[in-house]
Amino acid sequence: MKIFNTMTRTKEEFVPIREKQVGIYVCGPTVYDYIHIGNARPMIVFDTLRRYLLYKGYDVNYVSNFTDVDDKIIRRAIEEGVSSSEISERYIREVKKDMEDLNVMEATTHPKATEEIPDMIAMIETLIEKGHAYEVNGTVYFRTRSFHEYGKLSGKRIDDLEAGHRQIKVAGEEEKEDSLDFVLWKPKKEGEPSWPSPWGEGRPGWHLECSVMSKKYIGDIIDIHAGGEDLIFPHHENEIAQSEAANEVEFARYWMHNGFLKIDGEKMSKSLGNFFTIRDIGERYPLQVIRFFMLSAHYRSPLNFSDTLVESAKASLERIRNAMTRLEDALHEAEDRDAAQEEEALLSSVRTYVTKYEAAMEDDLNTADAISVIFELVKLANSSITPANARNVIREVYDTIDRLCDILGLQAKAEKEILDSEIEALIEERQTARKAKDFARADEIRNQLAEQGIILEDTREGVKWKRK
């Protein structure tokens, strides 16, 4: 398998550190709100990478963190008058719900920054001992110039960065040895969560968190470190500096970064009114359609989100599911018999398509080309398979399409549409649960209906519902 390595800016043959074992670290979200549609792209892309590696027989250790201490979390907690941990735990639950709806597999480990503070303090102490960090008034800084390869991932030259910094005065700049030095530990402020340390009460810097969590749950060297391209600088650059200065070994063998997502050609922002959470999008489209849409372009390409393009993705996914329904119907009618010669030739074509699909996936995870192969199989199924075919022939075509879709996290089997009477019965059960203050069951029913594409609206006249 070849992977485009951001570090070398070339496609390289993927060779894991340990045979048939892969450690992948993907930077996770800061949990202060619902995740937005841009967050979904790396989740879907690198979940698909994991699924393909599993399909190829690798043992995958997939680690994706939750940043559960951060200025944004603290601000949200102050606004609501609750603790920071209440905010972070609430949105960790919501993120996991969105990931499940996007058919993103649960990580092998989802470490939380607040649970790894002792190891963070230990790494800072190591960096101070080795001359790569220093403390001033309770703040610990990393000596950026002490790491001579700084900028090797982003391609930024340290002298150019210094010139840029001269134009911008940062709070606390005067206490640093160098304007480019970044924070490893920050002192406590009134009302903020904090932990004891050799430098006083405080909390870790964001960049440090991932260096420590990846080391603990994967090792000093990661096979693949992944995330959005917005993290290349400064986050991933700083991770490399800290980790390699502390551990004195290469931090990651391969770096993978997905391209930006735009909304109708514009950068997503609340001020433009084009900022959408996964929950917002889920009100308009089944999230399987969003997953299909995300994978219909190469992960390194910029991706433009628009209703027109998503509607096209919806129609394409429906085409696959319609073909699967036809195959299911044919299976019910077909006879058990040996495959005829022309049917063996058809199955040989199917296996050729599997090889073509794998070639696309092994060419830097080219999911767009892999989806094209699935449509070639769909075309073959629609034109060549009838109930007159041998059952085992139909079964192999059906199972192949299902398997190749599953690697992409796509559910190819058509879901049976829920009947109006079943919807009404569930709504009635939900109302009974709410009256009994069984809100967990009420939410469960709402989510169950949402998964079937049913949107509920609580009004003064009662509960109204509609299909997406």
Of how many residues is the chain composed? Answer: 468
Please work out, in degrees rounded to the nearest 5, the angle formed at the alpha carbon of residue 159 by the alpha carbons of 155 and 164. 90
SS3 content of the chain, % helix, strand, coil (to 5): 50, 20, 30
- Number of neighbours of residue 178 by Cβ within 10 angstroms: 16
**DSSP secondary structure code for residue 417 in this structure:** P
pLDDT value at residue 166: 41
Determine the pLDDT at residue 468: 65
> Number of C-alpha atoms within 13 angstroms, CB side, residue 271?
1
* CB-based burial, 86-124: b 16+ in 10 Å, e otherwise: ebbebbbebbeebbebbbbbebbebbbbbebbebbbebb
Domain ranges of the chain: 2-258, 278-407, 420-467
CATH for 278-407 is: 1.10.730.10
Instruction: Please say whether the beta carbons of 232 and 9 come within 8 A.
Output: no
Indicate if the alpha-carbon torsion angle 16, 20, 21, 25 is positive or negative.
Answer: positive
Q: Could you tell me which of 123, 168, 341, 154 has the C-alpha nearest to residue 237? A: 154
Local confidence pLDDT in tens for the 468 residues of the chain:
999 999 999 999 999 999 999 999 999 999 999 999 999 999 999 999 999 999 999 999 999 999 999 999 999 999 999 999 999 999 999 999 999 999 999 999 999 999 999 999 999 999 999 999 999 999 999 999 999 999 999 999 988 886 544 444 444 567 999 999 999 999 999 989 999 999 999 999 999 999 999 999 999 999 999 999 999 999 999 999 999 999 999 999 999 999 999 999 898 877 788 889 999 999 999 999 999 999 999 999 999 999 999 999 999 999 999 999 999 999 999 999 999 999 999 999 999 999 999 999 999 999 999 999 999 999 999 999 999 999 999 999 999 999 999 999 999 986 655 667 788 889 989 989 888 988 888 888 888 888 777 888 888 778 888 876
Q: Extract the runs of DSSP E, i.e. beta strands, from 406-461.
A: 454-459
Model-wide pTM > 0.85: yes
Cα–Cα distance, 310 to 289 (Å, whole number): 7
Q: How many whole angstroms from its chain centre is CA 401?
A: 24
Angstrom distance (rounded) from CA 109 to CA 202: 26
- Tell me the two tokens of residue 129: 């001992």
Backbone angles phi, psi at 60, to 5 degrees: -105, 120
Q: Which residues contact 173 (CB under 8 A, 6 or more apart)?
A: 179
Q: Is the peptide bond before 234 cis (omega within 30 degrees of 0)?
A: yes
Predicted pLDDT at 163:
54
Residues 6+ apart with CB under 8 A from 156: 233, 237
CATH 3.40.50.620 fits 2-258, yes or no: yes
254 alpha-carbon distance from chain centroid: 17
Supply the pLDDT for residue 414. 65
